[in-house]
């Protein structure tokens, strides 16, 4: 799918610039083909922000600030003159959000609203919110807050009376190799000779690499017309298969025989699903299919402006079934092995 470079010459702000998604966003914007005029990164992680600033200290387009999305006034100041906002700041770990739900609400819901208000005040051109498959039929705090973030973005687009700001969300699954994801956990367990802990034998997940995830987030800025949720197409794996492939590939590196490393099943964690959903059955009724995405259109349209939802390269104007990892074909172990090597996830 050919997507125009809508970021050339633009001033871009990235929240959560030190996180897995945010830092890769910064990297692709500054080192890729996008040619922005400026990239502003905001994060509340002082140490990681220092290292990020050092990495790009010779790039005059890059500037980084300590800040938190809970601080609306700071967002208002830093969005002055900004054209595009990628909102990647969030609390993402399911268990920690379960244990501290109000912290998740403060960052993942109120933080989104602060971004919206700051963008409206500064007449930002586009705001793209990075969401999660856990927002669909949520069973945990993290997913619930991400769903509210999506709904706030859609509502902002619907209710905007003055200005031309476009708000949209992009939703994707598990980013393999990201901080706190299963790959670094399995790697460390294999390094120590096992056992490797898997929750359930039949647990499935949507997966993608961080490079793919961020490229599609950037692409959605070109596609967005207002209020949509872009759902990235991606492969599905069984967590058990991933564990076994990693054992086979990595055990010899650490001096172990792969067959000697045990896999222990520990049961699902609080709020954890056996499978993940990227698009619900209800959403299929207002979804379009593009080559790389499904696009869920807003359930209610703009009150003060008409929006033409007619993207190019439509594969289908009807989506017949929900997008759920349980019913999608899973990658074989050989295909998982190829995916891991192709994305340097075993290094």
**Catalytic residue set:** 134
* Contact present, 166 and 128 (Cβ < 8 Å): no
Q: How far apart are alpha carbons 39 and 31 in whole angstroms?
A: 11
Q: How far apart are alpha carbons 111 and 114 in whole angstroms?
A: 5
Residues 6+ apart with CB under 8 A from 336: 237, 241, 242, 245
Alpha helices in 44-100 (DSSP H): 46-55, 72-78, 94-99
With residue 126 as reference, give the H or E element that holds it.
Answer: strand 126-132
Tell me which DSSP letter residue 137 carries: S
Q: How far apart are alpha carbons 211 and 38 in whole angstroms?
A: 21
Tokens standing for residue 58: 């010779």
Please, what is the end-to-end C-alpha distance for the chain in angstroms? 31
* Contact present, 49 and 41 (Cβ < 8 Å): yes
> To which residue do tokens 């590196």 refer?
253
Alpha helices in 80-198 (DSSP H): 94-99, 101-105, 111-121, 141-159, 182-191
């Amino acid at each position: 799918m050919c997507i125009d470079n809508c970021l050339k010459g633009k001033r871009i702000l990235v929240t959560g610039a030190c996180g897995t998604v945010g830092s890769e966003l910064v990297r692709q914007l500054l080192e890729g083909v996008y040619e922005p005029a400026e990239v502003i990164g905001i994060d509340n992680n002082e140490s990681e922000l220092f290292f990020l600033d050092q990495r790009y200290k010779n790039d005059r387009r890059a500037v980084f600030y300590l800040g938190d999305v809970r601080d609306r006034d700071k967002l208002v100041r830093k969005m002055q003159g900004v054209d595009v906002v990628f909102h990647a700041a969030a609390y993402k770990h399911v268990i920690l959000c379960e244990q501290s739900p109000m912290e998740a609400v403060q960052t993942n819901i109120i933080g989104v609203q602060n971004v919206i208000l700051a963008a409206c005040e500064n007449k930002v051109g586009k705001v793209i919110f990075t969401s999660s498959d856990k927002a669909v039929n949520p069973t945990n705090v993290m997913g619930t807050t991400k769903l509210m973030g999506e709904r706030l973005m859609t509502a902002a687009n619907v209710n905007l009376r003055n200005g031309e700001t476009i708000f949209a969300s992009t939703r994707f699954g598990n980013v393999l190799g990201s901080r706190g994801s299963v790959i670094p956990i399995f790697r460390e367990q294999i390094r120590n000779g096992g056992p490797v802990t898997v929750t359930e034998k039949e647990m499935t997940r949507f997966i993608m690499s961080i490079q793919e995830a961020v490229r599609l987030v950037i692409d959605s800025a070109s596609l967005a017309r207002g209020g949509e949720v872009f759902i990235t197409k991606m492969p599905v794996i069984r967590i058990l298969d991933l564990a076994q492939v990693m054992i086979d590939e990595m055990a010899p590196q650490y001096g172990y025989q792969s067959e000697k490393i045990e896999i222990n099943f520990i049961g699902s964690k609080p709020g954890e699903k056996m499978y993940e959903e990227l698009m619900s059955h209800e959403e299929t009724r207002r979804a379009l299919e593009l080559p790389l995405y499904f696009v869920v259109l807003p359930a209610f349209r703009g009150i003060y402006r008409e929006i033409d939802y007619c993207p190019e390269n439509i594969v289908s104007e009807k989506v017949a079934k929900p997008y759920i990892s349980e019913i999608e074909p899973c990658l074989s172990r050989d295909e998982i092995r190829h995916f891991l090597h192709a994305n340097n996830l075993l290094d």
